[in-house]
Amino acid sequence: MSVWCKKFRFAWIDGSLVECEKAQVHVLTHALHYGTGVFEGIRGYWNGENLYVFRLREHMERMLVSAKMVGLKLDYKVEQLVDATVEVIKANGFKENIYIRPIAFAGEGTISLDISGVPVRVAITAFPFGHYLKPEGVRVKIVSWRRIPSFSLPISAKATGIYLNSVVSLAEAKKEGYDEAVLLDWRGYISEGSGENIFIVRKGVIATPPVTASILEGITRDSVIKIARDLGYTVEERDITRDELHSANEAFMTGTAAEITPIVEVDGKPVGDGKPGPITIKLQKEYGDIVMAKNKKYMEWLTPVY
Ligand SMILES: Cc1ncc(COP(=O)(O)O)c(C=O)c1O
């Protein structure tokens, strides 16, 4: 039995619900060999009364853009993928916090690098999920690998093959005893974490690297920019130097899996006084309330499942 089948009963594959044990692919699946897939990471939050999926539509929109960038022809509209996600969550009957993983990938038929004739498959799985990074704060290392630039790959796509860049970076950070990696872009400016965007706070002003710093344009990043501005903070999207990260008063990471995670140490140096800063804590609390449907102002970001 797959370890996954202890966590969920049904997957959604190519339009139908499939028992977990049957949710399999052939070893000659194109995407397995060449990284020809695009995917999403989405969270669903159970607040005791209903399960709310956070920014589901925006995630599915990004997946369709990713597919276009990579050249995978997807025959689904955003609404169909949204409905399929709700269907698979309901089928599993989850009443707890979950992670949702849609993926579209080049299937079987060829070992050629030409994907124009390869069937594209789509799967959506969901399973119970807790914290990805320590919510009380992580120690990060600026690793020696650079984030893949947009002149080498369409990095606005959340594509499977691109993640090898993250895998080797995280391995380097972990090997040296850190919790997470930070990558510089090709120019030497701060880009992002292995699976998160980065923010710093200096003298009360919040800043995050721009889209041109080889980042994945995170949906949590977008949410945090909006929430912070709504709270009255100034948020700048601008290049950030390594030195500015080292000397920031506060720093944090954002991502669907990471949510808002304080950075308490960079390259062995404490960020601020080495504890999560007040603005980070405030944003963490606000974000937590929003995803749990406790803040009516942001209800349009939530899709109720039941
Ligand atoms: C490389 C990378 N950057 C940033 C993010 C944050 O994106 P989002 O907030 O949309 O989850 C992720 C996670 O999906 C990621 O993998």
146 and 275 fall within a common domain: yes
How does pLDDT run across 61-116, given as a tens digit for each residue? 999 999 999 999 999 999 999 999 999 999 999 999 999 999 999 999 999 999 99
How does pLDDT run across 146-176, given as a tens digit for each residue? 999 999 999 999 999 999 999 999 999 999 9
- Cα-to-centroid distance, 159 and ligand 1 (Å): 11
Please indicate whether residue 158 is annotated as part of the active site: yes
171 and 239 fall within a common domain: yes
Whether residue 133 is contained in a domain is answered as no
121 and 201 fall within a common domain: no
Q: Is 170 in the pocket of ligand 1 (CB under 6 A)?
A: no
Whether residue 299 is contained in a domain is answered as no
51 and 146 fall within a common domain: no
- Cα-to-centroid distance, 110 and ligand 1 (Å): 31
Q: pLDDT per position in the chain (306 positions), as tens?
A: 899 999 999 999 999 999 999 999 999 999 999 999 999 999 999 999 999 999 999 999 999 999 999 999 999 999 999 999 999 999 999 999 999 999 999 999 999 999 999 999 999 999 999 999 999 999 999 999 999 999 999 999 999 999 999 999 999 999 999 999 999 999 999 999 999 999 999 999 999 999 999 999 999 999 999 999 999 999 999 999 999 999 999 999 999 999 999 999 999 999 999 999 999 999 999 999 999 999 999 999 999 999
Atom 1 of ligand 1, residue of closest alpha carbon: 195
**CA–CA gap between residue 304 and residue 299 (Å, rounded):** 10
66 and 163 fall within a common domain: no
Whether residue 45 is contained in a domain is answered as yes
Structural domain for 209, as ranges: 138-291
What is the best residue among 143, 180, 196 to mutate for testing ligand 1's pocket, by most ligand atoms within 8 Å of CB? 196
- In the listed set 128, 153, 173, which residue is the last one of a domain according to the structure? 128
Whether residue 195 is contained in a domain is answered as yes
Atom 16 of ligand 1, residue of closest alpha carbon: 195
Cβ–Cβ < 8 Å for 101, 125 = yes
44 and 149 fall within a common domain: no
Whether residue 53 is contained in a domain is answered as yes
Whether residue 244 is contained in a domain is answered as yes
pTM of the model: 0.98
| Of the candidates 63, 73, 56, 62, the residue with the CA atom closest to the CA atom of residue 38 | 63
- The CATH number for 51's domain is 3.30.470.10
Cβ–Cβ < 8 Å for 35, 105 = no
44 and 173 fall within a common domain: no
Active-site annotation holder among 22, 68, 73, 158? 158
**CA–CA gap between residue 75 and residue 286 (Å, rounded):** 37
- The CATH number for 249's domain is 3.20.10.10
The count of structural domains within the chain is 2
202 and 273 fall within a common domain: yes
Whether residue 54 is contained in a domain is answered as yes
- In the listed set 104, 128, 152, which residue is the last one of a domain according to the structure? 128
116 and 8 fall within a common domain: yes
**CA–CA gap between residue 246 and residue 37 (Å, rounded):** 35
204 and 63 fall within a common domain: no
Whether residue 34 is contained in a domain is answered as yes
- In the listed set 128, 150, 183, which residue is the last one of a domain according to the structure? 128
267 and 150 fall within a common domain: yes
263 and 154 fall within a common domain: yes
